[in-house]
Amino acid sequence: MTKAVAMQIIFDTCKGQGLTNFQAALIYSQGLQESGYDSHVFETDNNAFGMKMPKKRVSQYIAGKGLPAPVNESFPHDPYNFYARYTSLQNSVLDLLDRHKSFNINWSTITTVRAYIDFCISTHYFQGSPSIYESNVAHFLAKFGDGGVA
């Protein structure tokens, strides 16, 4: 799948869920950071965001266990130390949005890159360098000419 096709699927899915173009661009950018839309996990499991099997949340979008996650990303012998497997990129996006919903995301407050990063940090989703992520997303969003404004 090309990045252009992935972007179209993600934008269409996000827009279908009521997100703005800016918010859809955030989700697409997150996938660029996590999988690049060409990682082994993406190609094997349609998993664009590095989503693991949830411990509590039940998801209608997950088709089952995918590839095992690296040991350094979980506790030893953790039965949930697997990536989630999806039947499609659309289901991967819908599961990410469902995960955020389960943490009570208020999309009306997600009007900047930093607001999204802060939400992800607060829900223990994002563990990377916020400044690098923010810089990379800002670079991508600049292509839209809106400078990251919703």
Instruction: Give the ranges where the chain is alpha helix by DSSP (H).
Output: 3-16, 21-34, 40-45, 89-102, 113-122, 130-142
Cβ neighbours for 62, distance < 8 A, ≥ 6 positions apart:
53, 54, 84, 85, 86, 91, 95
The residue type of 77 is H
The residue type of 58 is V
- 118 vs 146 pLDDT, higher one: 118
Q: Is the pTM of this model over 0.85?
A: yes
| 11-50 tens-digit pLDDT | 999 999 999 998 998 999 888 888 889 999 999 999 999 9
| 103-144 tens-digit pLDDT | 999 999 999 888 998 998 898 887 667 787 788 777 777 766
Task: Please state, in angstroms and rounded to a whole number, the distance separating the CA atoms of residues 110 and 22.
Answer: 9
